[in-house]
């Protein structure tokens, strides 16, 4: 019956003439109308669903909003009446999101592929970084590689050296230009099911995790997620700014990168930024004996191994040509 109605409807509306109306009674026409409106309703529902799904995709302004909201949580946390145990939970959360997720996983593994990792470690890196609101791993890696390809020049997604606006704005992740919808990124995601799901449903995964913690316990939400996320986001943004402005240089690189001891202590060794810009494919940022790299120590403790010399990308340009995760 449906097929019959669908066959008649185009003839009536396309031709304008009531082709079948001699046979079709008023009842048939009345049947055709609801069918068209059903199609419209279906199209509207699909459009609505597509729009809902687009809200789950990664977006710099939404990450910026989370940065501000969790920053507010960081300020109110000391007045929440929590016992000292919760501060240990926050420290552990900062280690998981900031060290395992951001520094080791996103930066040294996904962006620079400076060491090999088994599947379990790759999954751990992915969720530690993603739930820490750093963004999806491969999208972040694409953005970070652009920073190395054009440091402190036009096209650098987060340099403050070219800012026409106040420098404090460089601390706001919502202003970054991450290129989440780049064609090449979409091509790489096509071959990686886990990364594709994390990218497509990014804010669904993050929101679901945060709400689950909130449903269990308010303190767990505050100290187990909001405070560690705030520390990870604000300190990573500070690192991207400070380690291109203050500190000393071991290498004369073509950028303004610097080594900053207090930033290295705060952010798992990431403060040895001039060393890193000079040797981006190196998993260990330490060059002098006093430059302790906590992230490198954790990599060693996890039993992960650097790439063999013949497989390691020699320069960032080589690793860019290779493509993330394509090997
Ligand atoms: Zn840099
Ligand atoms: Zn890097």
Percentage of the residues of the chain whose pLDDT score is greater than 70? 83
Q: Give 116's strand partners.
A: 305
Residue 30 CA, ligand 2 centroid: distance in Å: 65
CA distances from 262 to 102, 116, 253, 258, 279 (A): 18, 29, 21, 12, 21
**CA 88 to centroid of ligand 2, rounded, Å:** 29
Tokens of 58: 């990664």
Distance 293 CA to ligand 1 centre (A): 16
Q: How confident is the model at residue 176 (pLDDT cuts 50, 70, 90)?
A: confident
Q: Which ligand is nearest to the CA of 316?
A: 2
212 CA → ligand 1 middle, Å: 35
Mean pLDDT of 254-261: 94
Question: Ligand 2 mean position to 184 CA, how many Å?
Answer: 19
pLDDT digits (tens, 9 = 90+) for 2-61: 433 344 444 443 344 444 444 444 455 555 566 778 888 889 899 988 888 888 998 899
Which ligand is closest to the CA of 259, given by its number? 1
Query: What is the overall mean pLDDT for the chain?
Result: 84
pLDDT tens string 58-106: 889 999 999 999 999 999 999 999 999 999 999 999 999 999 999 999 9
Ligand with minimal distance to 273 CA: 1
Q: What is residue 30's predicted lDDT score, i.e. its pLDDT?
A: 54
**Which-ligand-closest: CA of 239?**
1
Instruction: Report the separation in Å between the CA atom of 112 and the middle of ligand 2, taken as the mean of its atom positions.
Output: 7
- The distance between the two most distant Cα atoms of the chain, rounded to a whole number of Å, is 95
pLDDT at 257: 94
pLDDT of residue 233: 96
How far apart CA 52 and CA 21 sit, in angstroms, is: 42
3-state secondary structure 24-80: CCHHHHHHHHHHHHHHHHHHHHHHHHHHHHHHHCCCHHHHHHHHHHHHHHHHHHHHC
- 71-80, 215-224, 312-321 — which is least confidently predicted? 312-321
Q: What is the pLDDT of residue 184?
A: 86
Q: Where are the domains of the chain?
A: 2-52, 61-322
Output the CA–CA distances (angstroms, integers) from residue 185 to 70, 155, 266, in the order listed. Answer: 28, 17, 31
- The per-residue pLDDT for 28 is 53
> According to the model, what pLDDT value does residue 186 have?
86
Is the pLDDT confidence value at 229 over 90?
Answer: yes
CB atoms within 10 A of CB 77: 18
| Total-model pTM | 0.81
Q: Is the pLDDT of residue 143 over 50?
A: yes
pLDDT above 50 for 321? no
How far away, in angstroms, is 144 Cα from ligand 1 center?
9
Per-residue model confidence (pLDDT) at position 29: 53
> Which of 163-172, 222-231, 246-255, 295-304 has the weakest average pLDDT?
163-172
């Amino acid at each position: 019956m449906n097929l019959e109605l669908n066959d008649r409807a185009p003839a009536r509306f396309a031709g304008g003439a009531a082709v079948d109306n001699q046979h079709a009674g008023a009842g048939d026409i009345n049947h055709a109308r609801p069918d068209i409106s059903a199609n419209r309703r279906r199209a509207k529902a699909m459009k609505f669903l597509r729009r809902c799904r687009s809200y789950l995709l990664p977006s710099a302004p939404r990450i910026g909003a989370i940065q501000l909201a969790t920053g507010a949580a960081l300020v109110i946390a000391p007045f929440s009446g929590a016992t000292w145990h919760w501060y240990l939970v926050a420290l552990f959360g900062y280690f998981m999101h900031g060290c395992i997720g951001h520094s080791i996983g996103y930066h040294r593994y996904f962006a620079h592929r400076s060491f090999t990792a088994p599947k379990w470690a790759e999954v751990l890196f992915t969720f530690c970084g993603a739930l820490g609101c750093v963004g999806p791993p491969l999208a972040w890696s694409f953005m970070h590689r652009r920073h190395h390809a054009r440091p402190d020049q036009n096209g650098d997604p987060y340099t403050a050296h070219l800012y026409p606006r106040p420098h404090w704005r460089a601390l706001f992740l919502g202003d970054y230009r991450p290129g989440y919808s780049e064609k090449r990124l979409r091509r790489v995601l096509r071959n990686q099911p886990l990364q594709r799901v994390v990218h497509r449903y990014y804010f669904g995964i993050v929101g679901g995790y945060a709400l689950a913690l909130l449903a269990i316990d308010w303190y767990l939400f505050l100290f187990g997620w909001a405070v560690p996320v705030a520390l990870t986001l604000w300190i990573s943004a500070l690192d991207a700014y400070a380690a291109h402005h203050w500190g000393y240089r071991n290498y004369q690189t073509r950028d303004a990168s610097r080594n900053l001891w207090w930033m290295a202590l705060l952010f798992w060794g990431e403060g040895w930024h001039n060393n890193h810009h000079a040797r981006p494919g190196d998993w260990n940022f330490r060059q002098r004996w006093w430059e302790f790299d906590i992230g490198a120590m954790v990599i060693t403790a996890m039993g992960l191994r650097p790439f063999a010399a013949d497989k390691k990308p020699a320069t960032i340009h080589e690793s860019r040509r290779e493509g993330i995760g394509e090997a």
